[in-house]
Structure 1
Amino acid sequence: MAQSKKVGGLSRRNLLKTTGAAGLVVSAGALAGKIYSPAVAAPAPKIRLAWTEVAACHSPLGFGVAKGLYAKHNVDVELFYQGASGQTLIQALATGKADVGAGLIGDWLKPLEQGFDVKLFVGSHGGCQRLLASPASGIKDIAGVKGKTIASYDVVSPPKVAFQVTLAKAGIDPENDVTWKVVPFDLVGEAVNRGDADIAAHLDPWAFSIEKKFGLTKIADTQTGVYEGHTCCVLGANGAFLKANKDALRRLAIANIEVHDYVADHADEAAQWYLDALKPAGLTHAELTEILGSFVLHNHPIGQPLVDQIQKSSEDLKLVKVLDSSTDPKAFAERVTVNLLA
C-alpha cells in the first residue's frame, strides 16, 4: 500500500500539498499510537457529522473521533447516525439534525442540482462499490453483462447508478440491455446465489462479504476502469452552518484528510476499532483490514481538484440521465463546492 509523504508542521502550507495530475491532497503528521487533545486553548466548536455507522468507508470517521484526530485540530465532532441511504443523509442536514454529512457523490448531486443548500468541501476516498457475477452466469467481464439481470437494493441505489455509468461507457445501454432487479438490502447476495439474478451491485462491507461467501467474480468496481482516479465519497456542509463556521470547517477538512491518510497506513488498527465498536456481522479483523486496505484512502481532493472531480461525476450522471440534460457540469461543480483553503 502506498505510504503518505510526511512533512513537518501544521500550517496549511506545510500540512497540505497537491500531487499528481489529479491534484489530490496529501496530509501529514507523525501519528502512530497517540491520543490527541485540542491543539489550541479556545473551546472546540461542535460539529454534528452525519454518517452511516456500519458502512466500511465511513469507519475512518468514527475511528478518527475515537483516536482524537479531529480533536487535534480543535473541532469537537459528534457523530449522528443518519441511516443507510442518501435520502436519509439529505434529511439529516435539511432538518438540522446534522451540520455536515459524509456521502457518496452519486447521492449528493441530484439534490444539489435541485437547489439543496449544501456545499461540498473535501473528498474522503475512492472506491467502495462492486459489481459481482455468479459463477453459474459465466460472466467474466463487462461485455458479458449484456442481456443479464442485476440485483441491487433500490431503484436508484448508488451502486446501480455507478455501474450504469460503467455499462454506458462500455457501449451497453444501462436500461434496455440489462434487467435491474430490486431486492432487500440484506438479500442482494442471496438473490444471485439462488439464481434470481446473475449479478450483484452492492456496497462494502456487504459487497465484500457476498463476494467471499458465494464465490462471486468481481467484474467491476468504483476504483478501476472508468473510475480510475475518481473520488467516491465527500463531505458536505449545511449552507447556514458553513457561513457561520468556515474556519471550523476548514480545520475539519484538514483533519478529515489526516484521518484518511492515517487509516491508509494503519488499516489493521482502524479495522480493530471497527470490529470492537461497530461489530459488523460476520466479518473478522483480517477481513475488515482487507476491506479498508482496498480503498483508495489517499484520494481526498479539496479546492480546485474537488471541483474537477465533481465536474467529472456530473458528466457521468448526465450520461445516465440522473442529472438534467441542460445542466452545465463545470458551472454546476463550481456552484456546489466551496474552497475552504482559499
Structure 2
Amino acid sequence: MSRSVPSNGVSRRTLLRAAGAAGLAASTGVLAGNIYAPAVAGPAPKIRLAWTEVAACHSPLGFGIAKGIYAKHNLDVELFYQGASGQTLIQALATGKADAGAGLIGDWLKPLEQGFDVKLFVGSHGGCQRLLASQASGIKDVAGLKGKTIASYDVVSPPKVAFQVTLAKAGIDPETDVTWKVVPFDLVGEAVNRGDADVAAHLDPWAFSIEKKFGFLKLADTQTGVYEGHTCCVLGANGPFLTANKDAVRRLAEANIELHEYTANHPDEVARWYFETLKPADLTQAELTEILGTLVYHNHPIGQPLVDQIQKSAEDLKLVKVLEATTDPKAFAERVTVNLLA
C-alpha cells in the first residue's frame, strides 16, 4: 500500500516526527492547514472509536467525522458511546465493542499496570479537570487545603487522583491532611455550595459550569502548576486490533493531531457543532466555545514525548499510591505505549 505525501513535499512521517519531537503539533506549523490526502488507496478500514459524548473535551472526535477529517485519512470511523466512566471505556475495549478509545491518563494507567491489553499511541489535549473552592470556605490557594473537605464523585475519580498529586507536591498528605467526600456526580457543586464540603474536584464541562454558577475560586487545574505542559487525555488501541491494523492506527493518530489542532484554532466552530448536534444541558454555545478555547489542544504528544509523559504520570501515580511501589515508571511507560514513528 502506498502512502501519500502532502502537497508541500513533506512526508507524513516527517510531520508526525516533528509533532512528537516537540510534544506539540503546533510546532510543525503545518498540521492545522488541512494538507493531508488519503494515506492509502482502496476501501477505508473501519475503526470503532469509544468516546464520552457528554464531555466537551471529546467533541473534536465527533466533529472529526462531521468535518470529514477521518475520511480524508481514508478511515471509516464509527463512534461508540462508552459512558462517562473510564471503567466503561476499559470494558468497551476489553469486550471488543470498540477498537480504540479516548480517555484520561488517570483512568488508563491502573488497568494497564494490571495487564490490560491496550497500547497508548497519541495524546489529545491537556487541562480538563478543576479544583474549585467555595467563597465561604475562605480558601485562597492549594496551601489552604490542609484540614479541609474535598468533594468528588468517586473514591478513585480521575479528578481526585489528579489533585492528590497536586496536594502531595505542595507538601500536603492527600490521605491524612484532607477529607475526601464522595457525592453523586451531578451534585458535586451543590454539595460544596451548601457547605457539605469546602472544595470540588471535578471534570469539565461540569467543573466549568459549577465554577460559573456558584462563583467558585479555581485553585488548580490539569494544565497549570504541576501539570504545566502535560497532556491529560490520550488515545489507546486494543492490542489485537493494533497488531492487525497498525497503519490504520497510525492514520488515526494523524487525524487526531489534525482535528485537535483544528479545534485549537477554531473552538467556535467545534463548539457550534457540539451545541447543535448534542445539545448539552445547562451550557450555552458561548460557554462551550469558552471551555474549548481554554483547553490545551496543541498538546498531543506521540512517539518518545508520549512515552516521557506516561512515565511522568506513572511517577505521579506511584507518589499517591495508585500504582504499585514495585512498578518501574520508565519500563511501564515503554510497555504500555506504541511508537507509531518507529
TM-score, normalised relative to structure 2:
0.94
The answer for the alignment partner of 1:152 in structure 2 is 152
The answer for the alignment partner of 2:3 in structure 1 is none
The answer for the alignment partner of 1:30 in structure 2 is 33
* Distance (Å, rounded) in 2 between the aligned partners of 1:83 and 1:160: 19
Q: Deviations over 1:172-216 (max 9, x none)?
A: 000100000000000000001110010000000000000000000
Deviation, 1:10, is 6.5
Q: Indicate if the aligned counterparts of 1:37 and 1:68 stay in contact, CA closer than 8 A.
A: no
CA 1:20 to 1:141, structure 2 compared with 1: closer, same or farther past 3 Å? farther
User: Identity, % of aligned pairs?
Assistant: 84
* Distance (Å, rounded) in 1 between the aligned partners of 2:338 and 2:211: 38
Q: Which amino acid aligns with 2:276?
A: D
CA 1:142 to 1:29, structure 2 compared with 1: closer, same or farther past 3 Å? closer
* Distance (Å, rounded) in 2 between the aligned partners of 1:284 and 1:162: 28
The answer for the alignment partner of 1:337 in structure 2 is 337
Q: Deviations over 1:154-184 (max 9, x none)?
A: 0000000000000000000001000000000
CA 1:214 to 1:61, structure 2 compared with 1: closer, same or farther past 3 Å? same
Q: Which amino acid aligns with 2:321?
A: K
The answer for the alignment partner of 1:116 in structure 2 is 116
Deviation, 1:38, is 5.1
Q: Give matches, 1:310-329, under 5 Å.
A: 310-329=310-329
* Distance (Å, rounded) in 1 between the aligned partners of 2:84 and 2:8: 38
Point out the more displaced range, 159-168 or 64-73: 64-73
Deviation, 1:12, is 1.7
The answer for the alignment partner of 1:217 in structure 2 is 217
* Distance (Å, rounded) in 2 between the aligned partners of 1:275 and 1:7: 34
The answer for the alignment partner of 1:291 in structure 2 is 291
* Distance (Å, rounded) in 2 between the aligned partners of 1:38 and 1:58: 24
Secondary structure of 2:124's aligned partner: strand
Q: Which is helix-richer, 1 or 2? A: 2
Q: Give matches, 1:61-140, under 5 Å.
A: 61-140=61-140
Q: Give matches, 1:271-282, under 5 Å.
A: 271-282=271-282
* Distance (Å, rounded) in 1 between the aligned partners of 2:39 and 2:247: 15
Q: Which amino acid aligns with 1:63?
A: F
* Distance (Å, rounded) in 2 between the aligned partners of 1:87 and 1:136: 34
CA 1:7 to 1:37, structure 2 compared with 1: closer, same or farther past 3 Å? closer
Q: Indicate if the aligned counterparts of 1:7 and 1:14 stay in contact, CA closer than 8 A.
A: no
Secondary structure of 2:78's aligned partner: strand
RMSD of equivalent CA atoms: 1.9
CA 1:237 to 1:19, structure 2 compared with 1: closer, same or farther past 3 Å? closer
The answer for the alignment partner of 1:195 in structure 2 is 195
Q: Which amino acid aligns with 1:30?
A: G
Deviation, 1:47, is 0.3
Q: Indicate if the aligned counterparts of 2:23 and 2:300 stay in contact, CA closer than 8 A.
A: no
Structure 1's unaligned 5+ residue stretches are 1-5
Name segments (4+ residues, structure 1) moved above 6 Å: none
* Distance (Å, rounded) in 2 between the aligned partners of 1:8 and 1:60: 26
Secondary structure of 1:18's aligned partner: helix
Count matched residues: 334
* Distance (Å, rounded) in 2 between the aligned partners of 1:45 and 1:308: 30
* Distance (Å, rounded) in 1 between the aligned partners of 2:202 and 2:292: 16
The answer for the alignment partner of 2:60 in structure 1 is 60
CA 1:261 to 1:9, structure 2 compared with 1: closer, same or farther past 3 Å? farther
